[in-house]
Chain A
Amino acid sequence: MIAIIVAGHGHIAEGMVEAAKMIYGGNLKLTAITFENKEGIEDLKKHYYVVLDELKPGTEVLFLIDIFGGSPYNAAIQLAYGKPNIEVLTGVNLPLLLEALSMQSNPALKVKQLAEHLKIYSQKSFKIFSEEVKKTEIKRLSQTEDDLS
């Protein structure tokens, strides 16, 4: 099972993990890392190590981080560099986290593959309501076989 660590500025990770548990429930390997105002990269690394130290050596780990280049990211990459079992992904949002959770227990899946999948998936998580309605209307007009008779 791939361990997932969500980290970001302020309490965003806590909120996201709470939201994911509300929707997803179940048995998850998921931790939120909070980054307070007065803290720095060294504090973040300490928080990360507390989580990593509890994992079996070699466990695959996916960091889901809010912003590329921010402190939560810069701390995570110091732990991830040169480690094939750790991957770091930025721009995390709730649909992406849910998708990651739905795949984390797949024993055949490597963390690098999961990250690649999520990168593609994230594009699909952005929707504009008026476009969705338009698409639905067009689909209904063009695919009459979808209608039951």
Chain B
Amino acid sequence: MRITIARIDDRFIHGQVLTKWVKAFPAERLIVVSEEIANDPMRKILTLSVAPANIKTSVVTPNKMSKVFNNPKYNKTTAMLLFGKPSEVLELIENGIPIKEINVGGMRFDKDKLHLTESVSVTQEDIVAFEKLHTLGIKLELRQLPSDTRHDFIKILHSKQ
């Protein structure tokens, strides 16, 4: 499987935003990787019901994603991966999936979260995962839309701590 882009956005499939990423990084499949949603039949069907019409969409757990990635059947398949949190990207990378760059799009604000930018807030667990990704040499970019300027996510994270 060839990953066109890996994006973190906890709104997952979210209207025009996702449509634009799919246009900018064309792929045959859109895969939502989330333990939480894959195990919740209601959220799974609702997520699939808002998927763009022109792309095959699936919702899988990180564990299943790791198996699928190595299935020779998908050798030539291109896919966009959509995550809700960095720890699940880390899980894939630790399973040997070659993700070199992560686009950080949206992580909603909540009390007890560290507010980084208008669109991104992180928990302590997220920070640990991001630091680990950074240590592994994964490039982390903050960008809401493909047409926006790229920002170095780790720099912003370090400046706010």
B97 CB, min distance to chain A CBs, angstroms: 14
Main SS class of interface, A? helix
Tell whether, in the assembled complex, residue A98 and residue B49 are in contact, meaning their CB atoms are under 8 Å apart.
no
**Interface on A for B, CB 8 Å cutoff?**
23-26, 98, 132-133, 135-137, 140, 146-149
Interface: B147 (CB within 8 A): yes
User: Number of contacting residues on B, CB 8 A?
Assistant: 23
Which single member of A24, A132, A147 contacts B16 (CB below 8 Å)? Answer: A24
Q: How many A-B residue pairs have CB under 8 A?
A: 37
Bound CA–CA A12/B50 (angstroms):
27
Tell whether, in the assembled complex, residue A23 and residue B73 are in contact, meaning their CB atoms are under 8 Å apart.
no
Nearest opposing residue in chain B for A101, CB measure: B16
- Known A137-B45, A148-B31, A149-B68; contact A26-B147, beta-carbon cutoff 8 A: yes
Nearest opposing residue in chain A for B19, CB measure: A102
Tell whether, in the assembled complex, residue B48 and residue A136 are in contact, meaning their CB atoms are under 8 Å apart.
yes
Tell whether, in the assembled complex, residue B49 and residue A148 are in contact, meaning their CB atoms are under 8 Å apart.
no
Note all chain B residues with C-beta closer than 8 A to A133.
45-46, 49
- Known A146-B56, A148-B64; contact A136-B45, beta-carbon cutoff 8 A: yes
Note all chain B residues with C-beta closer than 8 A to A24.
16
Bound CA–CA A132/B29 (angstroms):
20
